[in-house]
Amino acid sequence: MSAVSSSSPSDRFSLPDAGGHFGRYGGVFVPETLMTALQELGDVYAAARQDPEFQRELRHHLKEFAGRPTELYFAERLTEYAGGAKIYLKREDLLHTGAHKINNALAQALLARRMGKKRIIAETGAGQHGVATAAVCAKFGLECVVYMGAVDMERQALNVFRMRLMGAEVRGVEAGQKTLKEAINEAMRDWVTNVRSTHYILGSALGAHPYPMMVRDFHRVIGQEVREQILAREQRLPDEMVACVGGGSNAIGFFFEFLDEPSVRLVGVEAGGRGIKRGEHAARFEGGKLGVLQGSKTYILQNPDGQIELTHSVSAGLDYAAIGPEHAYYRDRNRVQYAYACDDEVIETFQLCSRLEGIIPALESTHALVHGLKRAKEMRKDQIIVINLSGRGDKDVNQVAKILGVTL
Ligand SMILES: *Cc1c(COP(=O)(O)O)cnc(C)c1O
């Protein structure tokens, strides 16, 4: 444990500052036309955060609609297989719509209602955030438009149909790489034009303030439950916690309650894709540099001219050139460590977890499993590791079948 991590217990509640900064990261880098909307959102959220009625309502919907609390599951056979630390899985895959994304989508839909906004827009990559947003909009009777890259729409046709079934309009984006980055650009353009009637439900701990803070807060429930559950089960805190990091929302929500516990090692796992070579991965801490993308200053994969680098990962949900600013901050302070997992290891572990535990994990979450299993092997049998299973793999079975050469 480094001196930095133990001497910096927590400014966690004072971050970000009023301008949305996590140290030198974060901030508000948007066109002037959006400043008023972000200010309004910040004010409404500040009030809601203090309001017991908002918190009560959110808890109610998280329980009844989303299915919280989720189990903390002892993975007996994976533990036996690794032969080291006890492995627990936090079962966010059991949530309605199949991933942690619903925690944030529900909460932001409640905020939209408070602001009197009846039209929702969202971006989506793999489609999980789009599906979660479509579901909450159906539930609350809100109009819903989801922007999605044309390439992603083709790869994730099933999720496109799901969104449409729930009444959302899915708009394909043909610009650039036709994936998540372009979908976010289109959503921001829509927001600028329709800001009076429309709330933008951003899907990760990314973008301009107050989004990274707000999205983090809406996922903190994950770590709060883990703390209670592991204390009830083992009468102590875990030694290590591992989560995958796309934008960083499931990871920061999982870690937050433990930032002040120097005995708990926290590890985020990025997408190593086909290996750490330019354009072949999405591990921002492996070769990324400080820059600004879509509202926030953070680590970004870019070429020497500052153009955004192409990225690749077998999992669409981790395939993004920027990482949430709070992660960059805790990495600098050495409080959270970062690793990566590559496509081939992910495909192997996807099958292993399915076979040993009867749980088909999302490809994103499988990145955390790959690293967690390596670590469990190195740890003692009396130690405990908790891995966040951010989502389920039903959405990925077609893709994996194709990779394995199986015709369905
Ligand atoms: C979207 C998604 C991720 C990545 O997003 P984060 O904001 O980094 O959590 C991870 N796992 C699943 C299952 C997802 O759907």
pLDDT tens by residue, 201-257:
999 999 999 999 999 999 999 999 999 999 999 999 999 999 999 999 999 999 999
**249 CA to middle of ligand 1, Å?**
7
Give the residue-averaged pLDDT of 188-208. Answer: 96
Q: Which structure tokens are listed for 317?
A: 């949900």
Q: Is 248 in the pocket of ligand 1 (CB under 6 A)?
A: yes
Residue 14 has pLDDT above 60, yes or no: yes
CA 158 to each of CA 128, 216, 271: distance values in angstroms, whole numbers, following the listed order: 11, 28, 23
Both 170 and 74 in a single domain?
Answer: no
Atom of ligand 1 nearest to the CA of 250: 9
Question: Which residues contact residue 390 at a Cβ distance below 8 angstroms, ignoring those fewer than 6 apart?
Answer: 92, 93, 99, 100, 243, 244, 250, 362, 364, 365, 368
State the pLDDT at residue 126.
87
Cis peptide before 9 (omega within 30 of 0): no
Kindly indicate the confidence band of residue 13, based on its pLDDT and cuts at 50, 70 and 90: confident
User: Which tens digit of pLDDT belongs to each residue from 51-70?
Assistant: 999 999 999 999 999 999 99
State the pLDDT at residue 5.
42
Indicate whether 360 belongs to any domain: yes
Q: State which of 171, 187, 211 marks the end of a domain.
A: 211
State the pLDDT at residue 195.
93
Indicate whether 74 belongs to any domain: yes
Spatial strand order in the sheet of 240-244? 72-74, 86-91, 384-389, 240-244, 265-273, 336-342
Give, for ligand 1, the residue of 294, 364, 371 to mutate: max count of ligand atoms closer than 8 Å to Cβ.
364
Q: What is the CATH number of the domain that holds 93?
A: 3.40.50.1100
Residues in a beta bridge with 240: 265, 385
Single pTM value for the model: 0.96
Please give the single-letter amino acid code of residue 394. Answer: D
Tokens 């992910």 — which residue? 346
Both 294 and 306 in a single domain?
Answer: yes
Question: Which residues contact residue 129 at a Cβ distance below 8 angstroms, ignoring those fewer than 6 apart?
Answer: 101, 105, 122, 123, 201, 203, 204
Both 367 and 331 in a single domain?
Answer: yes
Q: Is 133 in the pocket of ligand 1 (CB under 6 A)?
A: no
Question: Which residues contact residue 341 at a Cβ distance below 8 angstroms, ignoring those fewer than 6 apart?
Answer: 269, 270, 271, 272, 349, 366, 367, 368, 370, 371
Atom of ligand 1 nearest to the CA of 98: 13
Both 30 and 116 in a single domain?
Answer: yes
Question: In angstroms, rounded to a whole number, what is the distance separating the alpha carbons of residues 384 and 387?
Answer: 10
Q: What percent of the chain has pLDDT over 90?
A: 93
Number of domains, the chain: 2
Question: Which residues contact residue 351 at a Cβ distance below 8 angstroms, ignoring those fewer than 6 apart?
Answer: 400
Task: Provide Rg for the chain, Cα atoms.
Answer: 20
Residue 11 has pLDDT above 90, yes or no: no
Both 92 and 108 in a single domain?
Answer: no
Question: In angstroms, rounded to a whole number, what is the distance separating the alpha carbons of residues 269 and 275?
Answer: 14
DSSP string, 186-222: HHHHHHHHHTTTEEE---SS-SSTTHHHHHHHHHHHH
State the pLDDT at residue 324.
98
Both 384 and 279 in a single domain?
Answer: yes
Residue 8 has pLDDT above 80, yes or no: no
What's 9's DSSP letter?
-
Both 50 and 189 in a single domain?
Answer: yes
Residues in a beta bridge with 388: 90
Both 91 and 43 in a single domain?
Answer: no
Question: In angstroms, rounded to a whole number, what is the distance separating the alpha carbons of residues 97 and 103?
Answer: 11
Q: Is 390 in the pocket of ligand 1 (CB under 6 A)?
A: yes
User: Which tens digit of pLDDT belongs to each residue from 139-181?
Assistant: 999 999 999 999 999 888 899 999 999 999 999 999 998 989 9
Both 93 and 180 in a single domain?
Answer: no
Kindly indicate the confidence band of residue 7, based on its pLDDT and cuts at 50, 70 and 90: very low
**Count, residues in the chain:** 408
Which residue spans within 32-113 are E strands per DSSP?
72-74, 86-91
**7 CA to middle of ligand 1, Å?**
31
Question: In angstroms, rounded to a whole number, what is the distance separating the alpha carbons of residues 327 and 19?
Answer: 17
Q: Is 98 in the pocket of ligand 1 (CB under 6 A)?
A: no
Question: In angstroms, rounded to a whole number, what is the distance separating the alpha carbons of residues 70 and 103?
Answer: 12
Both 57 and 80 in a single domain?
Answer: no
Both 90 and 105 in a single domain?
Answer: no
Q: Which structure tokens are listed for 173?
A: 């984006």
Give the residue-averaged pLDDT of 27-43. Answer: 95
Please give the single-letter amino acid code of residue 185. Answer: N
Q: State which of 211, 243, 267 marks the end of a domain.
A: 211
Indicate whether 240 belongs to any domain: yes
Q: Which structure tokens are listed for 236?
A: 């102590």
User: The domain containing residue 182 runs over which residues?
Assistant: 20-63+101-211
State the pLDDT at residue 97.
98
User: Which tens digit of pLDDT belongs to each residue from 294-334?
Assistant: 999 999 999 999 999 999 999 989 999 999 999 999 999 99
Residue 10 has pLDDT above 90, yes or no: no
State the pLDDT at residue 9.
52
Q: Is 245 in the pocket of ligand 1 (CB under 6 A)?
A: yes
